C-alpha cells in the first residue's frame, strides 16, 4: 500500500492503535527490538497523559463480556513531567509518527498539556480525550457542543500541531459535537471511545468493577461505532479516525467505507 498524508503526517498505511490498548514500551521490553523493526501501526497513539500522575481506579479493573470487555482502568499514568522524562524519549524511537493523547479536568489543565507537547519536536500530533467532566461546569467536555467549543477556543491557539478530538459516544448528538469541534479548529476527529457499562459481582447486587461502572469496548460496540462514524463523516469535512471493535480486515473496511481516513485497533477478543 502506498503512503498517505493525514493532517500533514506521512503515514505508511491506514491502521493505527487505539489509545491505551497497546503499550509499546512494555511490548518492546517483553518481545525485544522486533517490536520496533516490525512495528505494525502507521502512527503510535499514547495512553492518555494528564497533568498530574494518576493511580487509576481500585481493582478489579476488567470484566469480560460476550464480544469484548468492560474496563475501569481509570486512566492511570505518570503525569506530564514523568511521561516527558521517561516515556517520550523511548516512544520517539518508534518508526511511526507519535500522537500524544491528553486529558484534563479544566480548560487550563488541557492547555498546559497542549502547550507542553507543542514545544516537542518528537510529538507529531495531539489527541484530546474529551471524555472527562469539566470541573467548572460538571459537564463532560465532549458531551456538549458549546462545552467542547469553549475548550478548543482555549487550546487551539497554543499549538500549530494537528489537534485530533476524540469524541465521546456518550453524547446526545455526536454529529452536533463533531461540527462544533470542526468549527473551533479541530484538524481531525476520532471515535468512538468506550461506552459506559457495568457488571455486577456474580450472585450479588454490588458492582464488580472497582470504579463502579466502566467502558465497554470490542466487537460489542462495533455496530454503535459504525453508526456514529457514519453520522459524523456525513456531518464534517475534517478527516476521521474510526475506532470500535475492529477484529479483522472487513471490520476496518466497513469503517473506511463509512468515510474514515484511518482505522484504530484496540480490544481484540480472539
Ligand X SMILES: Cc1cc2nc3c(=O)[nH]c(=O)nc-3n(C[C@H](O)[C@H](O)[C@H](O)COP(=O)(O)O)c2cc1C
C-alpha cell at 207: 458492582
Q: What is the Cα–Cα distance from 170 to 185, expressed in whole angstroms?
A: 22
Tell me if residue 233 is catalytic: no
Residues that bind ligand X (CB under 6 A): 18-21, 47-48, 71, 73, 75, 101, 129, 166, 192-194, 217-218, 221, 243-246, 265-267
Residue nearest to ligand X (CB): 20
CB of residue 193 to ligand X, shortest distance in Å: 4
User: What is the C-alpha separation between 55 and 49, in angstroms, rounded?
Assistant: 12
Cβ nearer to ligand X, comparing 101 with 159 = 101
DSSP annotation of 84: I
Q: How far, CA to CA in Å, does 206 sit from each of 98, 212, 216? A: 40, 9, 18
- Taking the complex as a whole, the smallest distance from the CB of residue 77 to ligand X amounts, in Å, to 7
- Which residues in the chain belong to E strands, given as ranges? 4-6, 9-11, 15-17, 44-45, 62-65, 68-71, 98-102, 125-129, 163-166, 188-191, 195-197, 214-217, 240-243, 262-265
* Pair 164, 139: CB distance under 8 Å: no
As beta bridge partners, residue 64 has 69
Q: How far is the CB of 141 from ligand X (least distance, A)?
A: 12
Q: Is 249 left (phi over 0), alpha (psi -120 to 50) or beta?
A: alpha
For 36, 92, 127, 236, 241, the CA distances from 24, given in Å and listed in that order, are 9, 11, 17, 32, 20
Query: In terms of CB distance, is 159 or 168 closer to ligand X?
Result: 168
Catalytic-labelled residue, pool 94, 132, 167, 188: 132
Of 133 and 157, nearer to ligand X (C-beta) is 133
Nearer to ligand X, 21 or 34 (CB): 21
The helix (run of H) or strand (run of E) holding residue 31 is helix 24-31
Q: How far is the CB of 250 from ligand X (least distance, A)?
A: 15
CB of 214 to ligand X, least distance (A): 9
Nearer to ligand X, 37 or 102 (CB): 102
Distance of CA 21 to the CA centre of its chain: 9
Q: Which is nearer to ligand X, 118 or 224 (CB)?
A: 224
Q: Are 144 and 177 in contact (CB under 8 A)?
A: yes
- Closest approach of ligand X to the CB of residue 33, in Å: 25
Residues catalogued as catalytic: 132
Amino acid at each position: 500500500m502506498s503512503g498517505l498524508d493525514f493532517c500533514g503526517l506521512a503515514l505508511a498505511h491506514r491502521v493505527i492503535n487505539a489509545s491505551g490498548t497497546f503499550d509499546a514500551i512494555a511490548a518492546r521490553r517483553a518481545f525485544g527490538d522486533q517490536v520496533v523493526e516490525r512495528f505494525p501501526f502507521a502512527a503510535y497513539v499514547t495512553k492518555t497523559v494528564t497533568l498530574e500522575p494518576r493511580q487509576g481506579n481500585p481493582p478489579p479493573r476488567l470484566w469480560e463480556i460476550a464480544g469484548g470487555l468492560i474496563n475501569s482502568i481509570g486512566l492511570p499514568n505518570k503525569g506530564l513531567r514523568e511521561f516527558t522524562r521517561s516515556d517520550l524519549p523511548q516512544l520517539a524511537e518508534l518508526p511511526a509518527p507519535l500522537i500524544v493523547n491528553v486529558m484534563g479536568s479544566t480548560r487550563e489543565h488541557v492547555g498546559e498539556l497542549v502547550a507542553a507537547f507543542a514545544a516537542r519536536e518528537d510529538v507529531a500530533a495531539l489527541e484530546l480525550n474529551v471524555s472527562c467532566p469539566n470541573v467548572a461546569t460538571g459537564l463532560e467536555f465532549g458531551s456538549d457542543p458549546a462545552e467542547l467549543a469553549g475548550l478548543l477556543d482555549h487550546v487551539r491557539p497554543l499549538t500549530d500541531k494537528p489537534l485530533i478530538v476524540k469524541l465521546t459516544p456518550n453524547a446526545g448528538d455526536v454529529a452536533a459535537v463533531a461540527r462544533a469541534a470542526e468549527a473551533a479548529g479541530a484538524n481531525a476527529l476520532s471515535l468512538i471511545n468506550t461506552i459506559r457499562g457495568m457488571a455486577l459481582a456474580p450472585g450479588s447486587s454490588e458492582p464488580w468493577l472497582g470504579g463502579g461502572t466502566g467502558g465497554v469496548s470490542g466487537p460489542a460496540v462495533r455496530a454503535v461505532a459504525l453508526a456514529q462514524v457514519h453520522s459524523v463523516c456525513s456531518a464534517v469535512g475534517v478527516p476521521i479516525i474510526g475506532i470500535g471493535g475492529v477484529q479483522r480486515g472487513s471490520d476496518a473496511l466497513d469503517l473506511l467505507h463509512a468515510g474514515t481516513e484511518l482505522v484504530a485497533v484496540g480490544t481484540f477478543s480472539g
